[in-house]
Amino acid sequence: MLKIYHNTRCSKSREACSIITETGEKMHIVDYLKSPLKEDEMKDLLTKLGMKAEQIIRKKEPLFKEKFEGKKRTEAQWIKILCAHPILMERPILVKGNKAVVGRPIENIYKLL
């Protein structure tokens, strides 16, 4: 089963859900804004993505620009920030088994499927 970290207000996230539905793949949708990841879950997700926390931060988000832009943080600090402010997390993120991808560009989804 495929897990998708989904934001209903995001067009790319909705598009990802449509693509998955069209393939017939079963999916578990996680509304990460309503149910933010815990630190251990975030670390696990980053491992599956093969990325650092800072790489999945939406740097165009107003919150990032207001509070975090231009400031150096450790990996642990970025993880805490993402967990405390899930709006900063890139979306959609799809997980299948031990692999995950950020669904931007949308072609990345097909790599996981």
Query: Which residue's entry shows tokens 């926390």?
Result: 53
Q: Which of 10, 19, 33, 51 is catalytic?
A: 10
CATH of domain 2-112: 3.40.30.10
Successive 10-residue mean pLDDT values, the chain, 113 residues: 94 95 95 97 98 97 96 97 98 97 93 89
Confirm if 68 and 81 have CB atoms less than 8 A apart.
yes
If phi over 0 gives left and psi between -120 and 50 gives alpha, with beta otherwise, what is residue 28? beta
The confidence score (pLDDT) of residue 113 equals 87
Whole-angstrom distance, CA of residue 113 vs CA of residue 1: 11
The confidence score (pLDDT) of residue 68 equals 96
Indicate if 83 belongs to the active site.
Answer: no
40 CB-contact burial (10 Å; exposed 0-12 / middle 13-18 / buried 19+): exposed
How many CB atoms sit inside 10 A of residue 6's CB? 23
Domain residue ranges of the chain, discontinuous segments joined by +: 2-112
How many CB atoms sit inside 10 A of residue 20's CB? 21
